[in-house]
Chains A and B, each alone.
Chain A
């Protein structure tokens, strides 16, 4: 158990819909990262938050947004869903400092039908 909790584990939704994925980081970790793993794109970084502020942005679509709340949990919002958004979405957390390895949650499997 990495200590990072993601909900839900599985999500099936229709095209055009909006979903919210939730992540609770490890206790004490201020940084939260979102990654997308798909068959054709591999593992791609989407966005990072540090203590409530956006710190880095990767290949995140405009239809996607995220935020980190004062209690440090994070949510990834995906809207106007397309079939191609079907993927495994990972949240990871880390302490920014000397030991910076990221610990991953179990992921949310999103299927858009």
Chain B
């Protein structure tokens, strides 16, 4: 079974600054996907970024990037130039890449508040 741990229940950052959210996971799988999802006050779950474990290159999506350390089983999210609209709960998630059972295992989430 997989576990995902987010050790920062809450974080805050000033607008335009950079913030990093931490995530560690435990698995015996060699091939898998990792995701960051964002849940704003509207409660909608929005995919922010994904990373394939077989890729050494860290994924980036505009202001969002990850630091994927496979050996350390670490997957942090960096948000650059933080905006007020980034205020949300952020969830790290794991998914196996083999077979057709593709459920997500989520961490407990980090509530990020961007301060004006």
The chain A residues found within 8 Å of chain B, CB to CB, are: 2, 31, 33, 35, 42-45, 48, 50, 55-56, 58, 88, 90, 92, 94, 96, 100-104, 106-107, 109
Q: Is the CB of B101 within 8 A of A107?
A: no
When C-beta atoms are compared, the residue in chain A nearest to B45 turns out to be A104
C-alpha gap A107/B102 in the complex (Å): 19
When C-beta atoms are compared, the residue in chain A nearest to B42 turns out to be A106
C-alpha gap A25/B82 in the complex (Å): 32
When C-beta atoms are compared, the residue in chain B nearest to A1 turns out to be B44
Q: Is the CB of A31 within 8 A of B102?
A: yes
Q: Report which residue of A33, A45, A101, A107 has the largest number of chain B beta carbons within 10 angstroms of its beta carbon.
A: A101
Main SS class of interface, A: strand
| B102 surroundings in chain A (CB, below 8 A) | 31, 33, 48, 56, 94, 96, 100, 102
When C-beta atoms are compared, the residue in chain B nearest to A53 turns out to be B100
Residues of B in contact with A, size category: 20 to 34
Q: Is the CB of A55 within 8 A of B50?
A: no
Q: Is the CB of B101 within 8 A of A43?
A: no
C-alpha gap A96/B95 in the complex (Å): 12
| B35 surroundings in chain A (CB, below 8 A) | 101
User: Are A56 and B45 also in contact (CB < 8 A) when A42-B106, A43-B91 are?
Assistant: no
- Interface assignment of B60: CB less than 8 Å from any CB of chain A: no
